[in-house]
């Protein structure tokens, strides 16, 4: 009987690192580990120590119980983070995270410099404060780039720690703002004063070329035996798409610290409105247009805490609108926004206010779904809307998405889909399959399907009118 092959997928997210050890042949979960991260910062700042990510990766991988028997490994990481290293490979500054909004003025200036249409044409997206290019521009404006010898994204940094190799791949690099369909955009790098030599080697969009960058694990860390192959990795949303085994046109809504709505498409997205980011998929051939909000489950939980209610204690009815933009917002593009409550009445209940917070958080994601597919020139699929992330396990979130989308909704039984997608990418190095085909063989998207209910257009219209009328109040 052939020896069991083991793949380990790693998800280095905003709050923690998760690792899954998976049987390559069957997809059976053999072990898992988790270690937390610390996020610091007040106001618009959100920072983490990259060295802590590495320590968390080591802890999480060891906790799977299979580190010394892994045949392949892959790291998926939070997008957009700016990691700056000195000549010895040590962090010069704490990493600026995707939800750090200090670079909003630089984002506005960069968009003004090139124009929205030109940004969309060149890199597929109009950069906001979340994009890495604006964070580098902010760091440079503060005079903080001295001593920086290398610039990395989070999963690039961790993969380099494992292998000693620095490689950029399209799914994550396409979220920087300095990467286009042909690789690094030299004009944009010059515009923001980022020397090309600080960036990792660029892999192209050919899947075989991506796999060719796999190498033996480095002699330090949790895979010190050196027997495991290391895949090139992916951005977190692209890894989740692999983990679901997505096919073109399937739509996904992910409810976590941030909210995302995305789909796999055959067409390259270029949305000058900035609502849809034109990311590449991790398979090397497709695209992953995506809309993202900063305020999702944490914002709703904060409202529940302020109201003294359990997060599931919602009530129908009422006329209140809550726009829970507690951390500023990316979609819509309101980096200086704060939360807003409108339409309060004597008979408004706490449960209705909490439901309004759910509605406000879901509104931008669900209204962006059609734009996501349109941006990728992809007709809608008949498949149910896939609902994933921590919020998908909550009944109130599920019912809110059903009511505001009017679509059938499927809840995949598999959890930790980012790590699972990374495991599928690692497994593909061993089997020769496409990573998404590995996930489909593992039946990762299987789960209950909920029939559609009539779309609550009245609530959608009420939120839309409030958002349009709020104007400058949201930037206060």
- Per residue in 46-59, pLDDT (tens digit) is 999 999 999 999 99
Handedness of CA 120, 124, 128, 132 (dihedral sign): negative
Place of tokens 């299987």: 446
Handedness of CA 393, 451, 364, 281 (dihedral sign): positive
Report the distance separating Cα 361 and Cα 204, nearest Å. Answer: 36
Average pLDDT over residues 167-190: 95
Report the distance separating Cα 396 and Cα 313, nearest Å. Answer: 8
Q: Which of 172, 236, 283, 333 is catalytic?
A: 236
pLDDT of residue 213: 46
pLDDT of residue 180: 93
Average pLDDT over residues 235-262: 93
> Over the chain, what is the mean pLDDT?
92
- Of 88, 245, 233, 248, whose CA–CA distance to 171 is shortest? 233
Average pLDDT over residues 98-116: 95
> Could you tell me the pTM of the whole model?
0.89
Average pLDDT over residues 348-365: 96
Report the distance separating Cα 28 and Cα 350, nearest Å. Answer: 43
Half-sphere exposure at residue 32, Cβ-oriented, CA atoms within 13 angstroms: 13
86 as an active site residue: the answer is: no
pLDDT of residue 219: 44
Residue-wise pLDDT for 7-27, tens only, equals 999 999 999 999 999 999 999
pLDDT of residue 209: 45
The model's confidence at residue 189, banded by pLDDT at 50, 70 and 90, is very high
The region of weakest confidence among 152-161, 195-204, 403-412 is 195-204
Identify whether 406 is preceded by a cis peptide bond (ω within 30 of 0). Answer: no
- Of 429, 393, 384, whose CA–CA distance to 414 is shortest? 393
- Of 193, 134, 119, 94, whose CA–CA distance to 330 is shortest? 134
The model's confidence at residue 299, banded by pLDDT at 50, 70 and 90, is very high
Residue-wise pLDDT for 79-89, tens only, equals 999 999 999 99
Alpha helices in 192-247 (DSSP H): 207-211, 236-244
Cβ atoms within 10 Å, residue 267: 16
């Amino acid at each position: 009987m052939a020896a069991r092959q083991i793949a380990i997928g790693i998800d280095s997210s905003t709050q923690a690192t998760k690792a899954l050890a998976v049987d390559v042949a069957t997809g059976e979960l053999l072990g898992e580990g988790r270690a937390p991260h610390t996020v610091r910062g007040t106001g618009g700042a959100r920072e983490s120590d990259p060295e802590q990510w590495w320590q968390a990766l080591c802890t999480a991988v060891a906790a799977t119980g299979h580190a010394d028997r892994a045949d392949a490994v892959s790291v998926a990481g939070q997008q957009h983070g700016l990691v700056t290293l000195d000549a010895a490979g040590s962090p010069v500054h704490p990493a600026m995270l995707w939800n750090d909004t200090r670079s909003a003025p630089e984002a506005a200036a960069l968009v003004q410099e090139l124009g929205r249409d030109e940004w969309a044409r060149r890199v597929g997206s109009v950069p906001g404060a979340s994009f890495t290019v604006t964070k580098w521009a902010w760091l440079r404006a503060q005079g903080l780039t001295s001593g920086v010898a290398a610039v990395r994204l989070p999963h690039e940094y961790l993969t380099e720690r494992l292998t000693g190799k620095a490689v950029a791949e399209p799914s994550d690099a396409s979220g920087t703002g300095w990467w286009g369909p042909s690789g690094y955009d030299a004009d944009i790098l010059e515009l923001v004063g980022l020397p090309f030599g600080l960036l990792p080697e660029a892999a192209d969009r050919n899947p075989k070329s991506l796999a060719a960058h796999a190498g033996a694990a480095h002699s330090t860390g949790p895979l010190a035996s050196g027997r495991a192959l290391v895949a090139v990795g992916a951005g977190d949303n692209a890894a989740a798409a692999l983990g679901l085994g997505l096919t073109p046109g399937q739509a996904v809504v992910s409810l976590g610290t941030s909210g995302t709505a995305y789909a796999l498409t055959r067409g390259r997205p270029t949305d000058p409105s900035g609502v849809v980011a034109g990311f590449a998929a991790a398979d090397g051939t497709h695209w992953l247009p995506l809309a993202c909000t900063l305020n999702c489950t944490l914002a709703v939980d904060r409202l529940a805490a302020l109201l003294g209610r359990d997060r599931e204690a919602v009530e129908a009815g009422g006329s209140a609108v809550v726009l829970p933009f507690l951390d500023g917002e990316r979609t819509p593009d309101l980096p200086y926004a704060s939360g807003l409550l409108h339409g309060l009445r004597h008979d408004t209940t706490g449960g209705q206010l909490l439901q309004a917070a759910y509605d406000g958080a879901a509104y931008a994601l669900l209204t962006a779904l059609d734009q996501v597919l349109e941006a990728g020139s992809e007709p809608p699929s008949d498949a149910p809307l896939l609902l994933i992330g921590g919020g998908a396990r909550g009944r109130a979130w599920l019912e809110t998405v059903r009511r505001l989308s009017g679509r059938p909704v499927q809840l995949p039984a598999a959890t930790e889909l980012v790590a699972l997608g990374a495991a599928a990418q690692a497994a593909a190095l061993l089997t020769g399959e496409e990573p998404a085909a590995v996930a489909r063989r593992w039946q990762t998207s299987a789960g209950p399907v909920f029939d559609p209910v009539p779309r609550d257009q009245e609530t959608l219209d009420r939120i839309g009118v409030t958002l349009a009328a709020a104007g400058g109040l949201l930037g206060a």
